[in-house]
Chain A
Amino acid sequence: MEHQVVHREAIGAEPLQPATIIARNVNVFYGAKQALFNVDVDVPRNAITAFIGPSGCGKSTFLRCLNRMNDTIPICKVTGKIMLDGQDIYDPDLDVVELRARVGMVFQKPNPFPKSIYENIAYGPRIHGLTRTKKELDELVEQCLEKAGLLKEVHDRMHEPGTGLSGGQQQRLCIARAIATRPDVILMDEPCSALDPIATAKVEELMDELKENYTIIIVTHSMQQAARVSQRTAFFHLGKLVEVGDTRQIFTNPRDKRTQDYITGRFG
């Protein structure tokens, strides 16, 4: 079986923590159309894993399997097994709301709620009952903004609309919102594609800090970004996971011809 071969850990890879997400044999169908074929992947804890691949290859689809966002698409069907810390996330007994609190998501386009900056972050903790007093909530909001590197910029306008921030600030607000529910994993689907280079640099810096405490998966079209921020990289092509391994190895010494072609810009 080919895909088992290509999944072998790269020799000489940085020592990584054991996998927090283990996906086996994942197939995804949109109606009759199959979008993912037998995807097997391990995502290590407290590291950044990048998903790369040409447009339409199923990166977003796979990412959305990890917090069961695909449940909201009626025609979407997922088979296979995805384990988060040893727990099957497609277990019928598992509450999807709990899962999404543990697996936060940041979207391609910054999508703050049309509410105040404070409310944007306080919303998640409030519905999950994470804090008991107003003071605790205030502290949590500040903490999250601090972690997202946004506190200095917004501390005097916490009660102004979040949509009034710049694009980059909005995206960092969305990251702050995602970490407010105290997740283990943060999924980011092209988080910088709507941002200018300076805002992108800030978000990348932030991701680098966050990886100390969170497992991060990022979908990106920028090979440079994947190379800059991630420790591991997975290359998808036409719904198949072609190759996964240490980022340095993928970019310097890919095993598969298709990976080689993609990172050298021959297609995609």
Chain B
Amino acid sequence: MTVDAPIADGHPLPRLNDPARLRTRYAAEARFRIYGVAALSIAIAFLFGLFASIISNGWSAFLQTKAHVPVYLDPAEIDPDGKRDVSRFGLADYTKLARDALSKAIGLPEKQDKATKRDLKGLLSRAIDVQIRDLVVADPSLIGQTITVPLLAHGDVDSLLKGAIDRSIPEERRQLNDRQLQWIDKLTADGVLKKDFNAGLFAYGASSQPESSGLAVALIGSLFMMLTVALLAVPIGVATAAYLEEFAPKNFWTDLIEVNINNLAAVPSIVFGLLGLAVFINFAGLPRSASLIGGLVLTLMTLPTIIIATRAAIRAVPPSIREAALGVGASKMQTLFHHTLPLAFPGIMTGTIIGLVQALGETAPLLMIGMVAFVVDIPSSVMEPATALPVQIYMWATSAERGFVERTAGATIVLLGFLFVMNAAAVYLRRRFERKW
């Protein structure tokens, strides 16, 4: 016997608002939210930890101890012949002038033994020689006058004032002896030794002493490379993307090119360095360490990023706009330049800046083409040797001296600052040019 039972009897419909089901669903949702918040908190904690460590290590790099002493620019030492001959100025012993000035500031007698002289000299940077000479060369009329010069203190003095040298360790193992400590304390109390803004960090090139080494060469090198990348990669990348998107026939070859561009974007950057070494230095014979080569290598590296971003931006322009333009009789090229590219501009800008930011932070390929050189002179053209910001960080990071450690972190702050500014610019440009209508 078959009974036609109503469906609801055999398969009771679940009651709506069944409390048990609701509870499990709410619990699952709550759990998911907690996971999300936890993940975000961990990410923020890491980021915060990173910034805190870099800033606490590096902020002191922006200060530099200097001894503000009146230096007598003795004509007998600088210009004994009285001819004001600039080439003669280089032979003078400026260190002696500086030492005399310092000794006067401390109040030491004029006659001094060798050890005193050595200790006095140990308070000042070796770079003061050049520092004073440059003043005299720039303005020979200063000779014979007494001028107050902010003389660079020795790196050890700087470290002491920044609290990085422990006074309690025994004298023979300390960088500064007891007498020097006494002098430093007196000079500090008199306001002669004090910490100023470290303009030298942005003005000096490479140096073996931390107090006279700076980022100038790296900054200029990075600037030159960014200019090279911007001038080459942007037009080439945008033109390539526009051609591939709007004009190129869709066939085997363009597919192949597309696949390869995507692959190139994933090639490890050091490979581009090898390529640069082989092509630009060994084959084309361009000078090693020149920022032009760095720029060319980074251009190659950045191109795929810019092409991919530009293609995506062009593709995101609604086809209806293109049809509208073609419909009123605009040519393909007019459509591209009058409508598609302007509408894709924010996307292109964002992609470009992301590419530039990548290039700015790149180290490995630059090592391959010899941009790790010890470059003292600030390059005046793209053909002269230079370094780059991240390379400079790498080089300083390999030195153990306290002055270099703080500079490593300081330079990192500068680099992060640039990256931050560029990213902010990308966001700003996107907002500014995004058509809201």
Closest to B327 in A: A105
Chain B, 315-352, CB within 8 A of any chain A CB: 318, 320-331, 334, 338-339, 343
Given contacts A109-B320, A114-B435, contact A127 B330 (CB under 8 A): yes
Among B321, B322, B328, max chain A CB count under 10 A is at B328
Residue on A nearest B343 in the bound complex, by CB: A114
Question: Given A74-B249, A74-B250: A113 and B324 within 8 A (CB)?
Answer: yes
Residue in chain B with minimal CB distance to A116: B437
* Docked pose: A99 CA to B330 CA in angstroms: 11
Per the bound structure, the CA–CA distance linking A124 and B339 in Å amounts to 13
- Point out the residues of chain A lying under 8 angstroms from B250, CB to CB: 74
> B249 — nearest CB in chain A belongs to which residue?
A74
Please report which residues of chain B, range 289-331, place their CB below 8 angstroms from some CB of chain A when the two chains form the complex.
Answer: 318, 320-331
Contacts A97-B331, A111-B321, A114-B343; is A123 near B338 (CB within 8 Å)? yes
| Docked complex: B121-175 residues within 8 A CB-CB of A | none
Check A107 against B327 for contact (C-beta < 8 Å). Answer: yes
Docked Cα-Cα span, A187 to B437, in Å, equals 26
A111 touches B249 (CB 8 A): no
Determine the chain A residues whose CB is within 8 A of the CB of B437 once the complex forms. 114, 161, 163-164
Q: Which residue of chain B has the shortest Cβ distance to A114 in the bound complex?
A: B435
Q: Quick check: B320 and A100 within 8 Å, CB to CB? A: no
B50 to chain A minimum Cβ distance, whole angstroms, is: 41
Contact A180 B327 (CB under 8 A): no
B430, chain A: closest CB distance, angstroms:
16
| A139-159 with Cβ < 8 A to chain B | none
Partner among A101, A164, A174 whose Cβ is within 8 Å of the Cβ of B324: A174
A100:B326 contact, CB within 8 angstroms? yes
Q: Does chain B have a CB within 8 A of A16?
A: no
Query: A98 at interface (Cβ–Cβ under 8 A)?
Result: yes
Q: Given known contacts A111-B321, A127-B334, A164-B437, is B249 in contact with A98 (CB within 8 Å)?
A: no
Partner of A127, one of B320, B327, B329, B435: B329
Is B325 in contact with A69, judged by CB distance below 8 angstroms?
no
Q: Count chain A CB atoms within 10 A of each CB in B321, B325, B326, B343 and give the residue with the most.
A: B326
CB distance from B329 to the nearest CB of A (A): 4
In the complex, A228 has a CB within 8 A of chain B: no
Asked if residues A178 and B328 are in contact (CB atoms below 8 Å), the reply is yes
Asked if A259 lies at the interface with its beta carbon under 8 angstroms from chain B, I say: no
Q: What residues of A have a CB within 8 angstroms of the CB of B322 in the complex? A: 72
A231 at the B interface (CB under 8 A): no
B329 cross-chain contacts in A, Cβ below 8 A: 97-101, 124, 127-128, 181
Known contacts A74-B250, A114-B343, A114-B435: A180-B328 contact under CB 8 Å: yes
Residues of chain A with a CB closer than 8 A to B331's CB:
97
Interface size of B by CB at 8 A reads 21
On chain B, the residues within 8 Å of A128 by CB distance are: 329
B325 contact from A74, A113, A163, Cβ within 8 A: A113
Chain B CB within 10 Å — which of A67, A69, A105 has the most?
Answer: A105
The 0/1 profile, CB within 8 Å of B marked 1, for residues 120-139 of chain A is 00011001100000000000
Tally of A interface residues using CB under 8 Å: 29
Considering the chains assembled together, what is the distance between the CA atoms of A144 and B249 in angstroms? 37
Complex interface: chain B residues within 8 A of A100 (CB): 326-329
A165 to chain B, nearest CB (A): 10
| A residues less than 8 Å from B325 (CB atoms) | 113, 123
**Is there a chain B Cβ closer than 8 Å to A104's Cβ?**
yes
Cβ of A58: which chain B residues have Cβ within 8 Å of it?
none
Residues of A within 8 A of B330 (CB): 97, 123-124, 127
Question: What CA separation (Å) do A265 and B334 show in the bound complex?
Answer: 44
Q: Does A237 contact B (CB under 8 A)?
A: no
In the complex, the answer to whether B320 meets A107 with C-beta atoms within 8 Å is yes
Judged by a CB distance under 8 angstroms, whether A172 is at the interface is no
A101 and B249 CA atoms in complex are apart in Å by: 26
Q: Are B321 and A113 in contact (CB under 8 A)?
A: yes
Residue of B324, B343, B435 touching A111 (CB-CB under 8 A): B324
Chain A residues with CB under 8 A of B321? 111, 113-114
- Distance A67 CA – B326 CA, assembled complex (angstroms): 10
- A69 pairs with B326, CB closer than 8 A: yes
Query: Inside 8 A of A164's CB, which chain B residues have their CB?
Result: 437
Contact, CB under 8 Å: B328 / A123: yes
Per the bound structure, the CA–CA distance linking A107 and B437 in Å amounts to 19
A112 at the interface (CB under 8 A from B): yes
Does A177 sit within 8 A of B, measured CB to CB?
A: yes
B326 touches A112 (CB 8 A): no
Chain B residues whose CB sits within 8 angstroms of the CB of A174 once the complex forms: 324
Chain B minimum-CB-distance residue to A125 = B328
Shortest CB-to-CB span from B138 to chain A, Å, is 56
A98 to B328 Cα, complex, angstroms: 9
Nearest-CB distance from A188 to chain B (Å)? 11
List 8 A-B pairs, minimum CB-CB distance, nearest first.
A101-B329, A124-B328, A111-B320, A100-B329, A161-B437, A105-B327, A163-B437, A111-B324
Q: List 16 A-B contacts (CB under 8 A).
A: A69-B327, A98-B329, A100-B326, A100-B327, A100-B329, A101-B328, A107-B323, A109-B320, A111-B320, A111-B323, A113-B324, A113-B339, A114-B435, A124-B330, A127-B328, A178-B328
A-side residues, CB < 8 A to B, are 67, 69, 72, 74, 97-101, 104-105, 107, 109, 111-114, 123-124, 127-128, 161, 163-164, 174, 177-178, 180-181
Q: Which chain B residues have a beta carbon within 8 Å of chain A's beta carbons?
A: 249-250, 318, 320-331, 334, 338-339, 343, 435, 437
Apart from A105-B327, A113-B339, A127-B328: 14 A-B pairs, beta carbons within 8 A:
A69-B327, A72-B323, A100-B328, A100-B329, A107-B327, A113-B321, A113-B325, A124-B328, A124-B329, A127-B329, A127-B334, A127-B338, A174-B324, A177-B328
